[in-house]
Copies of this chain bind each other. A is one copy, B any other.
Amino acid sequence: MSDAVMMEHDELWDKLNEECGVFGVFNHPDAPQLSYYGLHALQHRGQESAGICASDGEKFSYHRGMGLVTEAFNGNQLSKIHGRMAIGHVRYTTAGESKLENAQPLVFKYTGGNLALAHNGNLVNAEQIRHQLERQGSIFQTTSDTEVIAHLIARSGYEIEQAVRESLRMIKGAYALLLMTENKMIIALDPNGLRPLVLGRLDEGYVVASETCAFETVGAEYIRDVEPGEMIVIDEKGLRSERFAGQTQRAICSFEYIYFARPDSDIDGINVHLARKEMGRQLYKESAIEADVVTGVPDSSISAAIGYAEAAGLPYELGLVKNRYVGRTFIQPNQEMRARGVRMKLSAVRKVVEGKRVVMIDDSIVRGTTSGRIVRMLREAGAKEVHVRISSPPVKNPCFYGIDTSSREELIASEKSIEQIREYIGADSLAFLSEKGMIDAIGRNDTAPNRGHCLACFTGCYPTEIYEDTKNCVEK
């Protein structure tokens, strides 16, 4: 065997990836430590780097490191961060750009003093603004669009609240944003509310997080979801809310319900596990099949699989088991063993599937590679038939709002028909949940104000203006 080559598990795993999670605390003696626990609860939203910045009212102290929260803060770093106010960030980055330089919160000095920023989402006009700023003499030390926001604020010339307000009006795209000065926290959500963001209370203070699961971990009480186009300022005078955008239209990312968010989180009051379970039930209604057993691809498809099994009156079984000790990297198998690579992460349970007609529930198909491997694994374990049911519609279009989608060419559903995909992954049958079925299952009531979805990756209709060469559906 030649020299060991380390491989990232994600190379073998075919999923969309969330890019960030944010967490903030205002007015609590344990603000940095609470941030550590809060970020840990949001770890599924980003595992490449983690950071916390706190303010003691006069100055900042902060640390950013690579890896999980428990890795980035593996020594006494946390004990050097002091203050009753803090913001934190976990980040997922695509392979080539995995650098500490990109870790957040972004901390900088400008004429108004110190400012820290934590950003979940992606701006669609960042390049355009960046070039404009560069022409005016700005320098950029990272490729992160968060740095663009920092420059806009610094250049506005207004005091901080007005500076943020003005800056938000210039940026387009998706952003759940936490800003912190020495004594003030500002929270903002883009006019479409593309990313989730929730507000809570803890003792005498406030907390804000990407998902409610972080509130459970730190023991905070949920108040409400931040509204699209809302800017919230919290300082010694209390909490003030305002709308910085005239026209807002909630378009929460559907994939938060489908795959990203933790099942114990609620988004706009709707529990993610229950929504997924309902998607499973709906999936059965739309594309029932004769079968003996239902299994889900762990962990994200378990809820939908339970729902499907209940609706079908079939036993829900652990037909696929995940290795709980999968780290981020492992030694790359040689060519012969590579075909078995996915087995490092997942195993089929022979006794459960042998001789059975198996319904395999997965939450989504992106490139189709993993699905094919799992179907093959089930067949090798003796499954008589494998019927794949996907609890979301086919992903045909790239995301520009902070999700690491492949380009359109890599999205199997943009190139192949469902029958072609079925053939590609080797399933006996294949069905996707319909858009309407998904929307009904989630139950946000799409016609009500502020209850809309972003369906762009399914439909190609983007809720915001987009880069010039991409069609969008804003006018619709």
Contact = CB atoms under 8 A, between A and B. Distances in A.
Interface in A329-352: 329-331, 333-334, 336-337, 340, 343-344, 347-352
A274 interface: yes
Contacts of A151: 137, 139
A57 interface: no
A403 interface: no
Contacts of A75: 4
A316 B303 CA distance: 10
A302 interface: yes
> Counting chain B CB atoms within 10 Å of each CB, which of A78, A140, A277, A331 scores highest?
A331
Given A141-B141, A323-B41, A324-B44, A340 B217 contact: yes
Given A154-B138, A154-B139, A217-B344, A324 B350 contact: no
Contact of A273 (B218, B343, B351): B351
Contacts of A41: 323, 347
Contact of A137 (B32, B155, B381): B155
Contact of A71 (B141, B263, B327): B327
Contacts of A36: 331
Given A139-B150, A306-B316, A274 B352 contact: yes
Chain copies in complex: 4
A345 to B, nearest CB: 10
Contacts of A407: none
Interface string A19-52: 0000000000010111011001101100100000
> Counting chain B CB atoms within 10 Å of each CB, which of A2, A82, A135, A216 scores highest?
A216
A467 interface: no
Contacts of A324: 43-44, 299
Contacts of A325: 40, 43-44, 47, 68-70
Contacts of A266: 350-351
Contacts of A100: 100
Given A108-B139, A156-B137, A217-B343, A79 B327 contact: no
A1 interface: yes
Contacts of A73: 4, 331
Nearest to A134: B111
A264 B306 contact: no
B154 A351 contact: no
A3 B271 contact: no
A375 to B, nearest CB: 15
A128 B216 CA distance: 48
A152 to B, nearest CB: 9
Nearest to A65: B100
A233 interface: no
A153 to B, nearest CB: 8
A318 interface: yes
A109 interface: yes
A221 to B, nearest CB: 11
A12 interface: no
Given A331-B33, A331-B78, A138 B141 contact: no
A317 B273 contact: yes
20 contacts: A33-B334, A34-B337, A36-B331, A40-B323, A70-B327, A70-B330, A107-B141, A110-B137, A111-B134, A111-B137, A137-B138, A137-B155, A216-B348, A218-B343, A262-B347, A264-B347, A271-B351, A274-B352, A299-B324, A303-B318
Interface of A: 1-4, 6, 30, 32-34, 36-37, 40-41, 43-44, 47, 68-71, 73-79, 82, 100, 106-111, 115, 131, 134-141, 150-151, 154-157, 213, 216-219, 262-264, 266, 271, 273-274, 277, 299, 302-303, 306, 310, 315-318, 321, 323-325, 327, 329-331, 333-334, 336-337, 340, 343-344, 347-352, 381
- Top 9 nearest A-B pairs by Cβ distance? A137-B155, A271-B351, A111-B134, A43-B325, A264-B321, A264-B349, A108-B139, A139-B154, A216-B347
